[in-house]
């Protein structure tokens, strides 16, 4: 089992760089960056760095760790332009980039920038075409693709990524997204509890069987908010709160048990966002404690 970190892009670049360098020096496997332009609230305020600028900067500044997008929004990134950005970043990194791609969802980004947000069905249709285009551009000499939403004619992508530049499909939709992952992805990711992950992973397996693909070819990852402490009162406050997404809450022993359930559910990589780790030295101390007292049992 591998472990990755996910620093939020709302923070200053020196803080992201220090966090990524610390993760690399302490043995983490990857660092992920989200692809959003603003916060998902009514104000849409506060600073937020652009994903591919951060990815490429990390590729140059942090020499060992894998670097991935979690995940790019297809609605505001044409797949040919996205493939060019990913290939360039991969070359800068020496072959360490993971291209995470999703159908797109955050309404305020589209509203405020005047970017079309189609229906869910159309987004997924576009997403399926985009995944096919990205894979073709990064692996074939030329790409001709005449779909309903995208048209490419004898399109080159040079230089090619050093590779393997895996395509990671993000999302848990069981009818379409997991089907798209089965058809095109080398990796799949979704926020989940161990139980939800096991269920959706089984759905992905069935889609793989339908399209004639070995399910073992697809690497699988998930993430959850982390609340790690010996302070039971502090932990109980978070256990009793609706956090809006999957969370791992507990003492080191309790967290170790939960991570074991993720492993047993088939998780190949667990991603730890820094959103709940605190700031400054506390953030690094919590990261180190997870690495030294919990991850060590699963590597």
Q: Is the predicted pLDDT of residue 187 greater than 90, yes or no?
A: yes
Chain mean pLDDT for the chain: 97
Q: Which whole number is the average pLDDT over 44-71?
A: 97
For residue 152, what are its two tokens? 């490419």
Q: Are 101 and 133 in contact (CB under 8 A)?
A: no
- Report which of 275, 199, 252 is spatially closest to residue 11, judged by C-alpha positions: 275
Calculate the dihedral angle through the C-alpha atoms of 271, 275, 281, 282, rounding to the nearest 10 degrees. Answer: -90
Q: What is the pLDDT of residue 95?
A: 98
Confidence of residue 204 (pLDDT cuts 50, 70, 90): very high
DSSP string, 178-243: HHHHHHH-SEEE----HHHHHHHHHHHHHHHHHHT--GGGSEEEEE-EEEE-S-HHHHHHHHTS--
Confidence of residue 243 (pLDDT cuts 50, 70, 90): confident
Q: Which whole number is the average pLDDT over 248-252?
A: 97
Which pLDDT tens digit goes with each residue over 63-74? 999 999 999 999
The domain spans of the chain are: 2-220
Q: Which whole number is the average pLDDT over 186-207?
A: 98
Q: What is the pLDDT of residue 101?
A: 98
Q: What is the pLDDT of residue 184?
A: 98
Q: Is the predicted pLDDT of residue 242 greater than 90, yes or no?
A: no
2-220 belongs to which CATH class?
alpha beta
**Between these two residues, 239 and 133, which has the higher pLDDT value?**
133
Q: Is the predicted pLDDT of residue 45 greater than 90, yes or no?
A: no
Confidence of residue 42 (pLDDT cuts 50, 70, 90): confident
Q: What is the pLDDT of residue 146?
A: 98
Phi-psi group of 171: left, alpha or beta (phi > 0 → left; psi -120 to 50 → alpha; rest → beta): left
The dihedral sign for the CA sequence 157, 57, 103, 199: positive
Which pLDDT tens digit goes with each residue over 143-171? 999 999 999 999 999 999 998 999 999 99
Q: What is the pLDDT of residue 185?
A: 98
Q: Is the predicted pLDDT of residue 23 greater than 90, yes or no?
A: yes
Q: What is the pLDDT of residue 233?
A: 95
Q: What is the pLDDT of residue 194?
A: 98
Claim: this prediction has a pTM higher than 0.85: yes
Q: Is the predicted pLDDT of residue 241 greater than 90, yes or no?
A: no
Q: Which whole number is the average pLDDT over 47-59?
A: 98
């Amino acid at each position: 089992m591998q472990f990755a970190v996910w620093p939020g892009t709302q923070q200053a670049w020196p803080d992201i760089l220090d966090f990524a360098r610390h993760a690399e020096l302490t043995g983490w496997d990857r660092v992920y960056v989200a692809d959003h332009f603003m916060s998902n609230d009514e104000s849409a305020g506060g600073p937020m760095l652009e994903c591919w600028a951060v990815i490429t900067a990390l590729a140059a500044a942090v020499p060992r760790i894998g670097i991935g997008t979690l995940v790019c929004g297809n609605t505001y990134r044409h797949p040919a332009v996205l493939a060019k950005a990913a290939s360039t970043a991969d070359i800068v990194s020496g072959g360490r980039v993971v291209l995470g791609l999703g159908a797109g969802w955050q309404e305020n980004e589209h509203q405020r920038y005047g970017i079309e947000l189609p229906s869910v069905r159309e987004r997924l249709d576009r997403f399926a075409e985009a995944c096919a285009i990205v894979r073709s551009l990064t692996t074939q000499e030329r790409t001709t693709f005449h779909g309903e939403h995208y048209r490419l004619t004898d399109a080159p992508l040079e230089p090619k990524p050093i590779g393997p530049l895996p395509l990671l499909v993000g999302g848990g939709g069981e009818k379409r997204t997991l089907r798209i992952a089965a058809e095109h992805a080398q990796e799949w990711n979704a926020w989940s509890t161990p139980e939800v992950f096991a269920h959706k992973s089984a759905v992905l397996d069935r889609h793989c069987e339908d399209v004639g693909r070995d399910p073992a070819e697809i690497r699988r990852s998930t993430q959850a908010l982390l609340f790690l402490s010996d302070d039971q009162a502090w932990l109980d406050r978070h256990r009793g709160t609706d956090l809006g997404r999957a969370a791992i809450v507990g003492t080191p022993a309790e967290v170790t048990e939960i991570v074991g359930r993720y492993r047993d559910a088939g998780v190949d990589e667990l991603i730890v966002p820094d959103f709940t780790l605190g700031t400054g030295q506390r953030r690094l101390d919590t990261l180190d404690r997870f690495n030294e007292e919990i991850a060590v049992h699963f590597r």
